[in-house]
Amino acid sequence: MHKIKDVESGSIANQLEIEPGDMLLTINGQKIIDVLDYRFMIQEEELLLEIEKPNGEIWELDIEKEEADDIGLIFESGLMDQAKSCHNRCIFCFVDQLPKKMRKSLYFKDDDFRLSFLMGNYVTLTNIDQAEAERIIHYHLSPMHISVHAADLALRRKMLNNSNPDDLFEYLKKFNDAGITMHFQIVLCKGINDGGALDKTISALLNIGSKASSLSVVPVGLTKYREGLHVLEPFLQEDAKKVINQVEKWQAHIQKERGTSFVFCADEWYIKANLPMPPYKYYEDFPQLENGVGMWALFEREFVNSIKPKMKQIDGIIGLVTGEAAKNLIEKLAANIPGQVKVYSVQNNFFGSNVTTSGLLTGKDVIEQVKEKAHQDGCTRLLLPQNMFRTESKFIEYTLDDMHREEIEQKLGIPIQII
């Protein structure tokens, strides 16, 4: 049974007087395991819902609707089930590199194939069995987002720190045969799965079939909290250039065979290598955007397209806060805005200087590094990136170090706007 958290106003469920606190027992006589079952079952045009009211009374409700119509139920859990946790102890895991005494939710490692389909989360598939693989195929969960890291089974076991993962490629071939589109990622670790191992992995993924759609190569993220963890080295400028050259050789080969590049380097490689970012068209349909592949090019294109020939000059002095990775881009674009715009890049002292993205900035670092400069510059407003905030409710936005928007604004002494 599944507890109903809310009912959409004007929906079928609302009209049938289903209320928050009611329990959904069955649909057409069948129990529901999770959101996959629920979404699949409510596609039927004729439904029989079994609902238990808080007083124990059982209602049976007949529904006739159009196939595509939702019925308007909202459940306490988006999955209608517990999220599947990760069974690995990856040598590069970012969660293991978090400092102690942060909020509990940050330490949960999800590895849930349902979230791969619903949210685009990358999963290793090491915690599924044949029955769950068949469920993916039965519900045609496409696209799937899959972390590979290495094609060599022994190397993959080493990287996942899991001595008994199933043969990933058995699942991948089944998904390909079932017509399920797959996007892959490799978290590259220096001296471990780079070089010849990377070549082997790219080749193996290409051999899966036509539904192997794209691959991103992402540099390992290293914080300063790695005591007792596997020793990993950061990639330096020359290392990054070698990775880019290696990937570009594969792209040229694959373009001839498939008419697509298939494999892409994350933007961070070009920043590390101090090389220009590829142009907008290079990224095709941006299949790996959420993995930091092509974000720079897309952001620049959207900005340029939104600039009007005769923009009104902004009032006051505006401060733009960003991470170190995007500093050059933001400064370049800010130069096109009429008026006084100051760009403040913030070094990540909380996680360490190797972490440069804006999404991992903390309120404390912003306050310590921006407050004095912004006041000296006479800033009348500060613009902070939305991705450094998490939303606890409709009204409360807070950072990784649990600082609320209002608290940051108060300590800065300057009005802030989240953009």
Q: Is-contact 180 137, C-beta < 8 A?
A: yes
Q: Does the pLDDT at position 174 exceed 70?
A: yes
Mean pLDDT score of the chain, rounded to an integer? 92
Express each pLDDT in 202-232 by its tens digit. Answer: 999 999 999 999 999 999 999 999 999 999 9
Q: Does the pLDDT at position 245 exceed 60?
A: yes
Q: Does the pLDDT at position 372 exceed 90?
A: yes
The token pair at 280 is: 């907008």
Q: Does the pLDDT at position 382 exceed 70?
A: yes
- How high is the pLDDT of residue 392? 60
C-alpha angle with apex 392: 221 to 361, nearest 5 degrees?
30
What's 42's DSSP letter?
A: T
For the chain, how many residues are written? Answer: 419
Task: Name the phi and psi angles at 321, rounded to 5.
Answer: -100, 135
- Measured CA distances, 336 to 115, 234, 297, 303, 382 (Å): 39, 35, 16, 10, 18
- Measured CA distances, 263 to 19, 203, 209 (Å): 49, 11, 14
Express each pLDDT in 283-338 by its tens digit. Answer: 999 999 989 999 999 999 999 898 877 778 888 999 999 999 999 999 999 988 88
Average pLDDT over residues 382-408: 85
Cα gap 363→361, rounded to integer Å: 7
Q: Does the pLDDT at position 16 exceed 90?
A: yes
Q: Does the pLDDT at position 186 exceed 80?
A: yes
Cα gap 269→271, rounded to integer Å: 5
Average pLDDT over residues 25-50: 92
User: CB within 8 A of 308, min separation 6: which ones?
Assistant: none
Largest CA distance in the chain: 70
- How high is the pLDDT of residue 68? 80
Cα gap 261→263, rounded to integer Å: 6
Average pLDDT over residues 232-255: 97
Sign of the Cα torsion 94, 97, 98, 101 reads positive
Q: What is the pTM of this model?
A: 0.88
| Residue 76: pLDDT band with limits 50, 70, 90 | confident
Cβ atoms within 10 Å, residue 65: 15
